[in-house]
């Protein structure tokens, strides 16, 4: 993205946060309890889509649901902390509803920033709409341009039939707030047609130490003979939500023997399987970059030979490894996906998908699926940048036919 050197203000209007009440009886359409999460979703969505081309963050209108509540100041301080964490040192502009002016000044202070023209910010906020109400809009606005309309973005999805194919649960060792119940609520709230729970099979079979130390890969008896209470617990808890639109699956990988880490009885119970490469299944110590690329492709070949539906975050290994991805590795992987009729997952969790790889997938007719890989609730179904990315790669707006719709294996 090229910067056009205009000043861009991110506008968050009517967050209406309330950390205590679920509902405001006077305004039942407002998702007041989700205010902090909606703020985080908007900031994360902008972070992925705006390439840091944001110069200030503006809070407009009703910042909390009700400024007269005893916890209103602490709720507003929570919002301020989220902005501090995600927007760093960007100036914070305030154009609060008059009923919240005093609260805003006492918690957030006042500013004489020249971009803080309350009248213009409120006008932009009115045009964008309330973040707390579906379809959960936020906006980007150029205050220097008097005729500019704010660019409005909806956090709810508008693509028909859209699934989030990759969602973790409270059983993940790396979970950071995601829950089975919360994720299934958000599927409806954010306009998804369906979702797949896909806990790491390895994490369900072995201890956190054996997982993070990759012992389940290099000492296969870890997963073949360990207790199965966590797997049973996962399948039992998710089964409550299982339907044609909520699939219960697993994300897994291959061990050093090239065997998919999945017991037969669990394969029979999974609706959908994501194959992943978190570690190579050979020791990478001392290997050259060319050898690492070759080992990656051998691991991928074993994953794809094991009858998985989707390749999760296909090239993420190279974002975490010191070794560079060779350009032909992506092409080869796209060909292998086509030959095995495996879906490529678009995934922005802790990596940035590569355009040439997804272009090669589309050229070969490989279907694409959106996987948030959510470990927290805010990430689930946050797909604005996924849609933009696939449209850019495909060169068309209508991406419906490129997308895979998960269906139960059994």
**What residue has token string 């036919």?**
401
Q: Where are the beta strands (DSSP E) in 308-402?
A: 310-311, 343-346, 368-370
Nearest approach, Cβ of residue 275 and Zn ion (Å) = 10
Query: Given the DSSP bridges, would you call strands 343-346 and 368-370 parallel, antiparallel or unpaired?
Result: parallel
Q: How far is CA 51 from CA 64, 69, 134, in A?
A: 29, 38, 26
Nearest approach, Cβ of residue 374 and Zn ion (Å) = 8
Q: How far is CA 220 from CA 224, 257, 265, in A?
A: 6, 8, 17
Closest by CA to 15, choosing from 74, 71, 58, is 58
DSSP 257-297: TS-BS--HHHHTT-S-EEE--SS-SS--TT--HHHHHHHHH
Among 272, 276, 344, 382, binds Zn ion (CB under 5 A): 276
Name the residue nearer to Zn ion (CB basis): 312 or 393: 312
Name the residue nearer to Zn ion (CB basis): 47 or 349: 349
Nearest approach, Cβ of residue 293 and Zn ion (Å) = 20
Nearest approach, Cβ of residue 25 and Zn ion (Å) = 39
Q: Which of residues 116-135 bind Zn ion (CB under 5 A)?
A: none
Nearest approach, Cβ of residue 249 and Zn ion (Å) = 11
Copy the structure tokens of residue 166. 């990759």
**What residue has token string 């998960």?**
406
Name the residue nearer to Zn ion (CB basis): 104 or 276: 276
Nearest approach, Cβ of residue 350 and Zn ion (Å) = 9
Name the residue nearer to Zn ion (CB basis): 150 or 275: 275
What distance in Å separates the CA atoms of residue 318 and residue 83, rounded to the nearest whole number? 30
What distance in Å separates the CA atoms of residue 233 and residue 18, rounded to the nearest whole number? 33
Nearest approach, Cβ of residue 145 and Zn ion (Å) = 41
Three-class secondary structure of residue 33 per DSSP: helix
Name the residue nearer to Zn ion (CB basis): 200 or 367: 200
What distance in Å separates the CA atoms of residue 278 and residue 300, rounded to the nearest whole number? 11
What distance in Å separates the CA atoms of residue 399 and residue 302, rounded to the nearest whole number? 30
Q: Which of residues 298-337 bind Zn ion (CB under 5 A)?
A: 312
Q: Is residue 59 a contact point for Zn ion (CB under 5 A)?
A: no
Segment near Zn ion (CB under 5 A); pick from 21-29, 179-187, 276-284, 329-337: 276-284
What distance in Å separates the CA atoms of residue 343 and residue 370, rounded to the nearest whole number? 10
Q: Which of residues 351-410 bind Zn ion (CB under 5 A)?
A: 373
Nearest approach, Cβ of residue 83 and Zn ion (Å) = 28
DSSP state of 34: G
Name the residue nearer to Zn ion (CB basis): 278 or 364: 278
Name the residue nearer to Zn ion (CB basis): 251 or 266: 251
Segment near Zn ion (CB under 5 A); pick from 23-31, 179-187, 271-279, 352-360: 271-279
Nearest approach, Cβ of residue 171 and Zn ion (Å) = 12
Query: Torsion angle, CA of 105/109/114/118, rounded to 10 degrees?
Result: -20
Copy the structure tokens of residue 98. 């008059």
Name the residue nearer to Zn ion (CB basis): 41 or 200: 200
Q: Which of residues 244-263 bind Zn ion (CB under 5 A)?
A: 251
Name the residue nearer to Zn ion (CB basis): 94 or 276: 276
How many residues touch Zn ion under the rule CB under 5 A: the total is 4
Q: Footprint of Zn ion on this chain (CB under 5 A)?
A: 251, 276, 312, 373
């Amino acid at each position: 993205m090229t910067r056009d050197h205009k000043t861009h203000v991110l506008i968050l209007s009517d967050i209406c946060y309330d950390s205590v009440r679920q509902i405001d009886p006077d305004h039942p359409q407002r998702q007041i309890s989700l205010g902090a999460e909606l703020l985080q979703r908007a900031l994360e969505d902008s972070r992925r889509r705006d390439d840091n081309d944001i110069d200030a963050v503006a809070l407009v209108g009703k910042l909390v649901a009700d400024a007269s509540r005893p916890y209103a100041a602490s709720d507003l301080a929570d919002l301020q902390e989220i902005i501090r964490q995600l927007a760093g040192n960007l100036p914070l502009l305030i154009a609060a509803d008059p009923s919240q002016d005093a609260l805003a000044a006492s918690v957030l202070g006042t500013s004489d920033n020249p971009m803080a023209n309350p009248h213009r910010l409120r006008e932009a906020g009115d045009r964008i709409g309330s973040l707390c109400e579906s379809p959960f809009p936020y906006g980007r606005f150029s205050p220097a341009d008097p005729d500019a309309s704010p660019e409005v973005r909806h956090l709810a999805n508008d693509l028909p039939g859209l699934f989030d194919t990759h969602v973790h649960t409270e059983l993940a060792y790396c979970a950071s707030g995601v829950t089975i119940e919360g994720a299934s609520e958000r599927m409806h709230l954010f306009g998804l047609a369906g979702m797949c729970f896909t806990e790491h099979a390895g994490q369900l079979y072995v201890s956190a130490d054996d997982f993070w130390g990759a012992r389940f890969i290099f000492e296969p008896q870890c997963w073949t003979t360990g207790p199965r209470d966590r797997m049973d617990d996962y399948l039992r808890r998710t089964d409550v939500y299982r339907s044609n639109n909520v699939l219960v699956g697993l994300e897994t990988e291959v061990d050093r023997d090239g065997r998919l880490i999945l017991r037969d009885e669990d394969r029979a119970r999974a609706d959908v399987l994501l194959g992943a490469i978190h570690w190579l299944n050979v020791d990478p110590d001392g290997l050259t970059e060319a050898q690492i690329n070759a080992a990656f492709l051998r691991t991928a070949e074993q994953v794809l030979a094991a009858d998985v539906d989707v390749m999760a975050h296909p090239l993420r290994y190279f974002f975490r490894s010191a070794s560079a991805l060779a350009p032909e590795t992506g092409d080869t992987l796209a060909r292998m996906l086509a030959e095995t009729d495996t879906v490529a997952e678009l995934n922005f969790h802790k990596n940035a998908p590569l355009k040439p790889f997804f272009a090669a997938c589309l050229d070969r007719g490989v279907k694409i699926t959106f996987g948030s890989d959510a470990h927290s609730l805010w990430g689930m179904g946050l797909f604005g940048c996924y849609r933009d990315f696939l449209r850019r790669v495909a060169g068309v707006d209508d991406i419906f036919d490129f997308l895979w719709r998960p269906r139960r294996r059994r």
